[in-house]
């Protein structure tokens, strides 16, 4: 009988990894795990109760808000607020920072940026969706958290992770000491260590991009896609095109199997679509810890200066050799243009 390590046991065993925390970060990760289980329960029965369909509102991004988005946002904010380790939250669902007002949390050391339910347009068609989170140590020393607490480079993250609500529900996170994956065992209601010290293959045969936007891609991306599609047995090409349209699902598959996900700038979206603070930076932290890479086509995602909490960025993320190959095409075609 293999030893089962729950998320809680693992966090305690690895406590020493958090040089600054006396247990606060551990409790923060515990609070996220609790909210994830509650959201998972609703996601799994979304088709059975009237929680599907549009809330009738639109979120700050101008996108239709599904009831499950609202529910997930509320659950994570509630769990993080009551846990007492987080003083403020930036969420895709909220235009401004959400300050945790209870006395305990006022002086908490950490702030969290999150996309509570990414890929929500897939909820009604039973496609995997996910939660993405990023944890920073606050810079401000007292009172309410400030925007500056959130506008830190991705290199300043103390932890990052995602939950994927798929054929099974997994929580994958890093604190900068490698990546570990936990699968929810519904029979005991615990996330159990299933993917210790996750490493991503240095290369792969899968490329993920919405080719419906192909006319508007930068030349370098167009040329890289042609490279992926060319016949070359020595490099296992043509690669396979896999695009679910749910970032966490596409990212997780590529993390495990090897592959590359691209959401480049287009003429319609000059800064791409995905959010730097609570989508790209946390996934960049994970992929780098797993041996992969994440850039905006020119610079490392985690080194980018950030100027607003909902700022978008182009992203190329996945197996290191594939990201480098895409970069080479971007460099050639940018130099040519320049
Ligand atoms: P498009 C979902 O809305 C999302 O934010 C990501 O989960 C997904 O990868 C991307 O947008 C899909 O965008 O423009 O290809 O539909």
pLDDT recorded at residue 335: 63
User: What's the CA-to-centroid distance between 210 and ligand 1, angstroms?
Assistant: 9
314 lines ligand 1 (CB under 6 A): no
245 lines ligand 1 (CB under 6 A): yes
Residue 20 has pLDDT above 70, yes or no: no
* Nearest protein Cα to ligand 1, atom 9: 247
pLDDT recorded at residue 22: 63
Residue 69 has pLDDT above 90, yes or no: no
Spatial CA neighbour of 82 closest among 101, 65, 67: 101
Residue 201 has pLDDT above 80, yes or no: yes
Q: For residues 238 and 229, is the Cβ–Cβ distance under 8 A?
A: yes
Ligand 1: which atom is nearest the Cα of residue 212?
15
Distance (Å, rounded) from C-alpha 237 to C-alpha 282? 30
The 10s digit of each residue's pLDDT in 253-297 is: 999 999 999 999 988 889 999 999 999 999 999 999 999 999 999
Dihedral in degrees, nearest 10, Cα atoms 115, 160, 260, 225: 50
Distance (Å, rounded) from C-alpha 59 to C-alpha 65? 6
Domains, the chain, with CATH or none: 7-195 (3.30.540.10), 206-337 (3.40.190.80)
Q: For residues 260 and 283, is the Cβ–Cβ distance under 8 A?
A: no
Residue 330 has pLDDT above 70, yes or no: yes
118 lines ligand 1 (CB under 6 A): yes
Instruction: Name which of 25-29, 159-163, 235-239 the model is least confident about.
Output: 25-29
64 confidence band (pLDDT: 50, 70, 90): low
85 lines ligand 1 (CB under 6 A): no
User: What's the CA-to-centroid distance between 119 and ligand 1, angstroms?
Assistant: 6
- Among 64, 118, 213, the mutation site with the greatest number of ligand 1 atoms within 8 A of its Cβ is 118
Residue 98 has pLDDT above 70, yes or no: yes
CB atoms within 10 A of CB 187: 6
pLDDT recorded at residue 227: 98
pLDDT recorded at residue 53: 58
User: What's the CA-to-centroid distance between 185 and ligand 1, angstroms?
Assistant: 29
The 10s digit of each residue's pLDDT in 217-233 is: 999 999 999 999 999 99
* Nearest protein Cα to ligand 1, atom 5: 119
Residue 322 has pLDDT above 90, yes or no: yes
143 lines ligand 1 (CB under 6 A): no
User: What's the CA-to-centroid distance between 263 and ligand 1, angstroms?
Assistant: 9
User: What's the CA-to-centroid distance between 270 and ligand 1, angstroms?
Assistant: 15
Distance (Å, rounded) from C-alpha 7 to C-alpha 21? 17
- Among 62, 114, 119, the mutation site with the greatest number of ligand 1 atoms within 8 A of its Cβ is 119
Residue 338 has pLDDT above 60, yes or no: no
Q: For residues 81 and 102, is the Cβ–Cβ distance under 8 A?
A: yes
Distance (Å, rounded) from C-alpha 214 to C-alpha 201? 27
The 10s digit of each residue's pLDDT in 77-97 is: 999 998 889 999 999 999 999
121 lines ligand 1 (CB under 6 A): yes
312 lines ligand 1 (CB under 6 A): no
Distance (Å, rounded) from C-alpha 231 to C-alpha 215? 22
Instruction: Name which of 63-67, 127-131, 178-182 the model is least confident about.
Output: 63-67
Q: For residues 150 and 125, is the Cβ–Cβ distance under 8 A?
A: no
Half-sphere exposure for 196 (CA within 13 Å, toward CB): 9
pLDDT recorded at residue 12: 84
The mean pLDDT value of the chain amounts to 91
* Nearest protein Cα to ligand 1, atom 16: 245
18 confidence band (pLDDT: 50, 70, 90): low
63 confidence band (pLDDT: 50, 70, 90): low
Instruction: Name which of 62-66, 103-107, 199-203, 333-337 the model is least confident about.
Output: 62-66
pLDDT recorded at residue 25: 81
Instruction: Name which of 58-72, 119-133, 312-326 the model is least confident about.
Output: 58-72
319 lines ligand 1 (CB under 6 A): no
């Amino acid at each position: 009988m293999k030893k089962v390590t729950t998320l809680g046991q693992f966090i305690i065993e690895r406590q020493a990894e958090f040089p600054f925390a006396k247990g606060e970060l551990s409790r923060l990760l515990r609070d996220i795990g609790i909210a994830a289980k509650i959201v998972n329960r609703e996601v799994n029965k979304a088709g059975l109760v009237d929680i599907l369909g549009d809330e009738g509102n639109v979120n700050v991004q101008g996108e239709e808000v599904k009831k499950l988005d609202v529910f997930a946002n509320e659950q994570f904010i509630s769990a993080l607020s009551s846990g007492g380790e987080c003083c403020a939250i930036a969420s895709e669902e909220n235009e401004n920072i959400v300050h945790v007002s209870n006395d305990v949390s006022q002086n908490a050391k950490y702030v969290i940026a999150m996309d509570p339910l990414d890929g929500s347009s897939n909820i009604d068609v039973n496609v995997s969706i996910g939660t993405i989170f990023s944890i920073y140590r606050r810079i401000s020393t007292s009172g309410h958290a400030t925007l500056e607490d959130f506008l830190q480079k991705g290199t300043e993250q103390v932890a990052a992770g995602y939950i994927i609500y798929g054929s099974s529900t997994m929580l994958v996170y890093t604190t900068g000491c490698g990546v570990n994956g936990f699968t929810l065992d519904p029979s005991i209601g615990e996330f159990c260590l299933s993917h210790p010290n996750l490493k991503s293959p240095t290369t792969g045969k899968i490329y993920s991009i919405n080719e419906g936007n192909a006319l508007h891609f930068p030349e370098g991306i167009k040329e890289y896609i042609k490279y992926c599609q060319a016949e070359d047995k020595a490099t296992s090409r043509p690669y396979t095109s896999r695009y679910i349209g749910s970032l966490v699902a596409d990212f997780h598959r590529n993390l495990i199997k090897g592959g590359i996900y691209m959401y480049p700038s287009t003429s319609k979206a000059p800064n791409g679509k995905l959010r730097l603070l609570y989508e790209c930076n946390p996934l960049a932290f994970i992929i780098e810890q797993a041996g992969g890479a994440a850039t905006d086509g020119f610079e490392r995602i985690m080194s980018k200066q950030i100027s607003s909490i909902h700022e978008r960025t182009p992203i190329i993320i996945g197996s290191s050799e594939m990201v480098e190959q895409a970069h080479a095409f971007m460099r050639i075609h940018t130099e040519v243009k320049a």
